[in-house]
Amino acid sequence: MHIEEEMRLIAKQAKVASQSIGLLSTEKKNEVLNQAADALIAETSFLMEENKKDLDKATQNGLTAALIDRLTLDEKRIEAMAIGLREIAQLEDPVGKLISKKVLENKLELTKVAVPLGVIFMIYESRPNVTADASALCLKSGNATILRGGKEALHSNIAIATVLKKSFVNSGLHEHTLQLITVTDYEAVNELLKCEHDINLVIPRGGRSLIEAVTSQSRIPVVKHDKGLCHTYVDAKADLKMAEAIVLNAKTQRPGVCNAMETLLIHQDLKDSFVPQIVKSLQAKGVEVRGDQTIVQAGSDVVEAEDHDWEAEYLDLILSIKVVADIDEAIAHIREFGSGHSEAIVTDDAAAAEKFIQEVDASGVFHNTSTRFNDGGQFGMGAEIGISTDKIHARGPMGIDELTSYKFIVRGTGQIRS
């Protein structure tokens, strides 16, 4: 079978499956998710064995430590995947949720209710836990799922999908509720992006090149999960002890994820009191510091930042630091280089905080806390399918509510339109 025929068949199978998934009761979906969580735990050894094949290849190919960390599955992370499925099972079912209800002048009863989108095609890179998260979120919201992970996680993704699919089928679900594309040739993606009659939404989650390739080719609506070029601005009136803790958390707690800070902006009034200390503290955590002239002069082993550093998503223990004249320059810098993901201000000045919140455009704006909190789990949404940097349909952490649409139901007593 040619790749075009194979992908079109996959899309049609998903559409058929979606018709039954959308009608599942809340109780059934929850039962399926809890059983799938048990299956993941039971297959921990198998999942780690398959993951090791990807890790060995990643090491051979010279992937960075941060990227290898994104790729790694251990007992704790597999347990976290299972916990994520159970948490999704506990969430309120979005399908059938009443959005609004009213009676019109002609006595027609008009209700607006949430319904599944249908078939969701997700393309993602590196992190194999996305295979479990996306499958569970789509199931709970009544959607069939087509997944295409990065080739660097191929063995891990196949293993996770195999365990989940077997569990789903054993629970009585349609065999094509979840489908994983194992063809690494990008032609497979291009063919699926033409299946607008069967696939309802495409979600690309990865770097700029992936996002641009998908949006330029797709005939299907796309919700972009673009790069996270996140900033933290330390204002003149910041609590410096708090600022240091927030900066270190935002950069070093897990540097290889999209809500990690990539650029630090510091008010010029703090160049003597805060800059040398934060540079020293970051370097002690293994961070390579790149900065403007003020930062270079503030510490040893600081690399002078080049123009491309201000637009870099490092996903590693590398940080660009710039001293700015005031909050207006900080906001201007974020407007020029930010990706609309997560932006933070550290200040005890309420007026400055409000100005930043109002004037910075991002899916999440944070005051006196870390950008690392821009996460579906941290927001109480359960696992997330990603963090949307779009503004239409979904923005920020994308959970089960964002994987539904709605329909109007009109009930009458014989009314006809004149």
The 3-class secondary structure across 291-329, one letter per residue, is ECHHHHHHCCCCEECCHHHHHCCCCCCEEEEEEECCHHH
Note the pLDDT tens digit of each residue in 188-216: 999 999 999 999 999 998 777 888 899 99
Please check whether residue 311 lies inside any domain of the structure: yes
Same domain, 193 and 239: no
191 and 240 assigned to the same domain: no
Please indicate, yes or no, whether residues 208 and 280 belong to a single structural domain of this protein.
no
Residue 382 lies in a domain: no
Q: What is the arithmetic mean of pLDDT over 121-128?
A: 90
pLDDT score, position 177 = 98
What CATH number does residue 148 fall under? 3.40.605.10
Distance CA 26, CA 95 (A): 9
pLDDT at 392: 81
- Determine the Cα–Cα distance for residues 57 and 66; give it in Å rounded to an integer: 15
pLDDT tens sequence across 333-351: 999 999 999 999 999 999 9
pLDDT on residue 325: 98
Confidence band of 227 (pLDDT split at 50, 70, 90): confident
Kindly tell me if the per-residue pLDDT of 126 is higher than 80.
no
Residue count of the chain, please give it: 418
CA 131 to chain centre: 12
d(CA 227, CA 309): 14
Question: What is the rounded distance in angstroms from the CA atom of residue 44 to the CA atom of residue 10?
Answer: 28
Q: How far apart are CA 323 and CA 10, in angstroms?
A: 52
204 and 69 part of one domain: yes
Same domain as 265, residue 170: no
| Residue 39 token pair | 């299956």
Give the whole-angstrom CA distance, residue 358 versus residue 356: 5
Query: In Å, what is the CA distance from 335 to each residue of 158, 229, 346?
Result: 40, 11, 18
Rg (CA), the chain: 23
Residues with Cβ within 8 Å of 76's Cβ and at least 6 positions away in sequence, in order, are none
More confident residue, 121 or 399: 121
- The pTM is what? 0.83
Is the predicted pLDDT of residue 374 greater than 80, yes or no? yes
Whether residues 317 and 333 fall in one domain: yes
Distance of CA 37 to the CA centre of its chain: 21
Whether 137 is covered by a domain: the verdict is: yes
Q: How far is CA 53 from CA 46, 57, 73, 76, 160, in A?
A: 11, 6, 11, 19, 14
Nearest to 314 by CA among 15, 70, 128, 11: 70
168 and 262 co-located in one domain = no
Please report whether residue 385 resides in a domain. Answer: no
* 390: in domain: no
Question: Whole-angstrom distance between the N-terminal and C-terminal Cα of the chain?
Answer: 55
Q: If you average pLDDT over residues 236-249, what whole number do you get?
A: 98
* pLDDT value at 80 more than 90: yes
Residue 317 pLDDT > 80, yes or no?
yes
- Residues 74 and 192 occupy one common structural domain: yes
287 residue type, one letter:
V
Q: Hey, what are 248's tokens?
A: 């270190």
**What is the mean predicted confidence (pLDDT) over 350-356?**
98
Could you give the CA distance from residue 325 to residue 224 in angstroms, rounded to a whole number?
A: 33
Question: 184 and 256 share a domain?
Answer: no
> Is 379 within the bounds of a domain?
no
The confidence band for 236, taking pLDDT boundaries of 50, 70 and 90, is: very high
The pLDDT of residue 1 is above 80? no
- The helix (run of H) or strand (run of E) holding residue 152 is none
Check whether residue 184 and residue 40 sit in a common domain: yes
The answer to whether the beta carbons of residues 8 and 191 sit under 8 Å apart is yes
Token look-up 């090791």 returns: 52
What is the pLDDT, as a whole number, of residue 224?
81
DSSP per position, 172-222: T--TTSEEE----STHHHHHHTT-TTT--EEEEES-HHHHHHHHHH-SS-B
pLDDT at 403: 95
Domains contained in the chain, number? 2
CATH number at residue 322: 3.40.309.10
Same domain, 181 and 319: no
Q: Minimal CA–CA distance to 147: which of 158, 50, 155, 191?
A: 158
Confidence at residue 50, expressed as pLDDT on a 0 to 100 scale = 97
Mean pLDDT in residue range 378-387:
81
CA 167 to CA 160: how far, in whole Å? 11
Same domain, 247 and 313: yes
Structural domain boundaries, residue 83: 3-225+398-411
418 in a structural domain = no
Q: Is residue 89 part of a domain?
A: yes
Model confidence at 140: pLDDT above 90: yes
